[in-house]
Amino acid sequence: MNTPHPVVELTVALGDRSYPIVIGPGLLADTARLVRHLPQTRVALITNVTLWPLFGDALASRLEESGITVIPVRLPDGEEFKDWPALNYLFDALLEHSCDRKTTLVALGGGVIGDIAGFAAATYQRGVPYIQIPTTLLAQVDSSVGGKTAINHARGKNMIGAFHQPRLVLADTDVLLSLPKREFAAGVAEIVKYGIGLDAGFFAWLESNLDGLLARETGALTEAIRRSCEIKARIVAADERETAAAGGRVLLNLGHTFGHAIETALGYGAWLHGEAVGCGMMLAARLSRELGMLAEDDARRILALLDRTGLPVTMPDIAVDEMLEHMGRDKKNDAGVMRLILLRGIGQSHVESGVGAERIGAFLAGLPKAAATVG
C-alpha cells in the first residue's frame, strides 16, 4: 500500500508581507486553501494557451463553484513572449473587466507566466495582490519564490521588472509527473544550484538521491523542492531586494551571468532557462578551478553531478565578444565592473569582482564548443 505523502508548508518571513509556500500532491484541487488567501471574490487567472486545457479550465470551474468570479487571461506559450506586447495584452484584459486593486492575479504556469503576471501585479494600479501556482519544477523551486518579477528586453533577460511578493505559492507536485523530460531537467538545474553554491549537505544528498529525483519519485521530489525552497526562503527573508554587498540573495545567481548571456545570444527559447543555467554553473566551476579557488576534487564532483542530470555541459558555439557583450549588461555588475558568482568549495559561493573581461574572454576562448542544439 502506498503511504500518502504529507503536504509541507514553509514561510517566507517578511513581516506583515510574509507568505506560505505549500508543497505536496493534489493541491490544485484544494480550492479552499487558495480561496482563503483572496481579499475579494474576483481573480484574473493568468496562464498560457497550452496550460489552459490541462489545468486552467478545471481550476476556473472549481473556483467558480466556490463563489469566485474568474477572468481568464490566456497568453501565448514560450519565453519569446515574455515581452511588452504580452504584458499589454494582460493589462488590456484587466482594464476591460474593470479589475480593481483587490482583484487577485493568479499565475498558473512556469517561470514565464509567473514573471509576467507578477510584473503586471506589481505595476497595475501601482500594485495588486497575486498568487503563484507554478507548474514546472524550475518555477516551484526558484522563480515563484521571492518576488522577483520581470519581462525580457531584446538586449537582455529580465531587464525590466520589479520586486513584488506573492500572497501564496502553491506547488502541486502532481503536475510535474507529466512534465516533458527536457523541462524537468531544466528544473533540476535550479535544485542543483542550491547544493553547489549554498549547501554542501544538500549537494551530498543530491549525489545519493539524484536517480530517484530524475525518476520523479514522490518522496525524493518533495524533499528536493522542500530543501530548495527552505534555502531560498531563508535568503530572501535576509536580503529581499538583493542589496547585500558581499553575499545574500545575489548568491542565488550562480551560473546565471553566463547562463543569461547564453540565452540572449542564442535567442529566447532556443535553450530553456535551466539548461543555460546548468551550462553556466559548469562554466563557473571550471573558471573557479582555473583561478585556483576551487579544489580539483570539488570541481570533479560538481561536473559529475551536472553531467548526470542530462543538462548541457559543453559551451555552445557563441563568439567570445558576443558573450562578453551580454555579460557586460548583467544586473549584478557594479559601475561597469563585472561581478561573477564563483566557488571556493561546494556550498561556498561568493561574489568575485576581480576577474576582468580579458581573463574571462581567454577562459571562454579556450573551452571546447558544441553545436547550440538541445533536446
CATH number at residue 111: 3.40.50.1970
pLDDT value of residue 4: 62
Best CA proximity match to 23, nearest among 185, 183, 161, 191:
191
Which triple of cell numbers denotes residue 272? 530553456
* Residue 348: domain span: 181-370
Which triple of cell numbers denotes residue 264? 540572449
Element (H, E) at 264: helix 256-266
Decide which of 151, 176, 201 is a domain's last residue.
Answer: 176
Residue linked to cell 536580503 = 239
Which triple of cell numbers denotes residue 171? 506547488
Per-residue pLDDT of the chain (375 residues; tens, 9 = 90+): 355 678 999 999 999 999 999 999 999 999 999 999 999 999 999 999 999 999 999 999 999 999 999 999 999 999 999 999 999 999 999 999 999 999 999 999 999 999 999 999 999 999 999 999 999 999 999 999 999 999 999 999 999 999 999 999 999 999 999 999 999 999 999 999 999 999 999 999 999 999 999 999 989 999 999 999 999 999 999 999 998 877 899 999 999 999 999 999 999 989 999 999 999 999 999 999 999 999 999 999 999 999 999 999 999 999 999 999 999 998 888 877 899 999 999 999 999 998 999 999 999 999 998 876 775
Distance from the Cα of residue 125 to its chain's centroid: 26
Decide which of 135, 152, 176 is a domain's last residue.
Answer: 176
Complete DSSP assignment for 120-177: HHHHGGG---EEEEE-SHHIIIIITSS-EEEEEETTEEEEEEEE---S-EEEEGGGGT
* 172 and 188 share one domain: no
Q: What is the 3-state secondary structure (H, E, C) of 14-66?
A: CHHHCEEEEEECCHHHCHHHHHCCCCCCEEEEEEECCHHHHHHHHHHHHHHHC
Decide which of 176, 193, 228 is a domain's last residue.
Answer: 176
- Residue 281 — left, alpha, or beta (φ > 0 → left; ψ -120 to 50 → alpha)? alpha
Summarised one tens digit per residue, pLDDT across range 243-293 is 887 789 999 999 999 999 999 999 998 999 999 999 999 999 999 999 999
* 70 and 105 share one domain: yes
In a domain, 1, yes or no: no
* 30 and 104 share one domain: yes
* 271 and 288 share one domain: yes
Identify the sign of the CA torsion 235, 239, 242, 243.
negative
Summarised one tens digit per residue, pLDDT across range 332-358 is 888 778 999 999 999 999 999 989 999
* 155 and 200 share one domain: no
Strand runs (DSSP E) across the chain, as ranges? 8-12, 19-24, 42-48, 69-75, 104-109, 130-134, 148-153, 156-163, 169-172, 315-316, 340-345, 348-352, 369-370
Is residue 173 a contact partner of residue 25, using CB atoms and an 8 Å limit? yes
Residues 6+ apart with CB under 8 A from 362: none
Residues 6+ apart with CB under 8 A from 203: 192, 195, 196, 301, 305, 346, 347
* 151 and 229 share one domain: no
pLDDT value of residue 321: 97
* 162 and 23 share one domain: yes
List, by residue number, the catalytic residues. 126, 148, 190, 232, 242, 249, 253, 256, 260, 273
* 359 and 337 share one domain: yes
Q: How far apart are CA 283 and CA 246, in angstroms?
A: 21
Q: Domain count of the chain?
A: 2
User: What's this model's pTM, rounded to 2 decimal places?
Assistant: 0.93
CA distances from 127 to 102, 166, 167 (A): 9, 11, 13
pLDDT value of residue 1: 39
Residue linked to cell 545519493 = 208
CA distances from 50 to 57, 81, 88, 117, 347 (A): 11, 13, 20, 16, 37
Element (H, E) at 298: helix 296-309
Residue linked to cell 500518502 = 4
Strand 156-163 relative to strand 148-153, pairing:
antiparallel
pLDDT value of residue 36: 95
pLDDT value of residue 332: 83
